[in-house]
Structure 1
Amino acid sequence: MEKDRISSMGNYIIEQGEVTTEELSKKFDVSIVTVRRDLKKLEKDNVITKIYGGAKAKSDKLETFIKRKSLNAGSKHYITNIAKDYIEDGDRIFIDSGTTVENLLNLLDDNIHLTVFTNNLSVINVASKMPNVNLFIVGNFYNNISNSFTYWGKSSELYSFNIDKAFMCTSGFTIKDGLTNKNPIEQEIKDMICKLADYIILLVDDSKVGKTSLMTYADVKDIDMIITNKKPSKEYIDYFDSHDIKYRY
């Protein structure tokens, strides 16, 4: 599909840094004309910059996990401190790959009984040391940029599991575009989890509200609760109230 190809092309350019249109044509088995059209869309989404004979990645599109971890650290701790109250003994939860949720398990009783699904390496390290946690690692390919696992090949086996609550992160959050993600290779997992989970909780700091990114993985109306660090604007509160979305700040 065109959308999948464009996403894959964007991710490939990010990984390579700079590529030629001829290289992309061979890699994705499409014409030069199609490549140029796809690059135009990626440039519009602020993922790449077109250059003579090819394209190069925006230098700020996928900051390293360590760099992202240090951004708005106080807000992230504030948010996870609220989120921890929505985890109950016996829950089956998914914890997303974003830096906002990586410390969530550290705030819980070490002896809590949980089933944890995650592709977040930091969460995996914590969960593996908790004696009463059943840990399921989502993904089979490690991405050191995002400190997370993604799928290389088929990922359909995840659909056979039941998940009570999903604690999700986002690169950007708007009413129009919903929950957006700048990392195309994580898109499949985020989309899949939002279809599986009974209750979706979005953890988002105010720096991401009103911003959008490359791909939408869920609409706002699909979210059950939003936890942030500042009171949302009237526009967002009115939308949340009209769609029965709970919010905490």
Structure 2
Amino acid sequence: MCASGAIVHIADAAKQLETSEITIRRDLSDNDSGILRLGGYLMFASDNGERYSLSHAQGTNTQAKIEVALQAAELIAPEDTIFIDCGSTLPHLASRIPQNANITVVTQALNIAEIVARIEGVNLILLAGIYHAESGSFSSETALKMLQEINITKGFFSAAGVHETEGVTCFHFHEVAVKRAAIARSQRRFLVADTSKWGKLRPATFAQVNEFDAWIGKPGHGPSPSAAP
């Protein structure tokens, strides 16, 4: 009915199977079918956040991730305070932060912090708390309070899915509060996600596409916007 990573509306699935939406909903609730229902959409349960592996994601679609990260890196300017989100795309951005440019990096992601800590002349603010190994990130009320005191000039956000109607999504609900707080504190906001994320619906929505100044990696679009304020 749907390939891994793809989504199908229940109404469309009912037409394909020549049955009713009620029957599909009932069958999914009664059986371990391997298909997950999120609102009015269907997706494979293997794509649910509980099955997500950061280590696995780091080895997939690598070249596309590097390309969008390179575009995003062009936006970083001396004296910026930047937020770098968790995930497997933005480590490629973190590794390209210039040395000794009086840049401050704010992140909740352990893999980002490990990279930034080795860059000379860069300040690191780690939003610590409870560590979630599946996403390699931290979450806590303390992290949210810390964000309220930080003026972020540019925020770089990753996504596991970008859906036409449901917005920008991630696998894990614990990521949402930090992402939302960082979006609110960022003067400029950039979604950094390659084209493979388009049309994918993940369990947790954290933003709408129009909340970002630009989507770096958007299907059909070329170079990233100017870094000028």
TM-score (norm 2): 0.73
Say yes or no: does 1:160 pair with 2:156. no
Aligned to 2:98, what secondary structure does the other structure show? coil
Say yes or no: does 1:101 pair with 2:90. yes
Say yes or no: does 1:74 pair with 2:54. no
Q: 2:48 aligns with which of 58, 61, 68?
A: 61
Cα contact 1:79–1:229 (8 A) shared by 2:
no
Aligned to 2:191, what secondary structure does the other structure show? strand
Say yes or no: does 1:170 pair with 2:170. no
Q: Cα distance, 1:105 vs. partner? A: 2.3
* Counterparts in 2 of 1:153 and 1:83: CA distance versus 1, 3 Å: closer
Say yes or no: does 1:225 pair with 2:218. no
Cα contact 2:127–2:146 (8 A) shared by 1:
no
Partner of 1:202: 191
Partner of 2:24: none
Could you say which structure has the higher helix fraction? Answer: 1
Distance 2:112 2:138 in 1: 11
Matched positions, count? 187
Distance 1:229 1:74 in 2: 15
Aligned to 2:92, what secondary structure does the other structure show? coil
Q: 1:115 aligns with which of 104, 108, 122?
A: 104
Identity %, equivalent residues? 25
What value does the CA root-mean-square deviation take over the aligned residues? 2.7
Cα contact 1:78–1:229 (8 A) shared by 2:
no
* Counterparts in 2 of 1:154 and 1:84: CA distance versus 1, 3 Å: closer
Q: Cα distance, 1:93 vs. partner? A: 0.2
- The unaligned stretches of length 5 or more in structure 2 are 1-28, 30-34
Partner of 1:182: 171
Distance 1:205 1:154 in 2: 28
Q: Cα distance, 1:133 vs. partner? A: 1.4
Partner of 2:26: none
Partner of 2:11: none
Moved more, 88-97 or 149-158: 149-158
Distance 1:147 1:116 in 2: 17
TM-score (norm 1): 0.68
Q: Cα distance, 1:152 vs. partner? A: 6.0
* Counterparts in 2 of 1:81 and 1:121: CA distance versus 1, 3 Å: same
Q: Cα distance, 1:230 vs. partner? A: 4.7
Correspondences of 1:125-136 after superposition (within 5 Å): 125-136=114-125
Say yes or no: does 1:212 pair with 2:201. yes
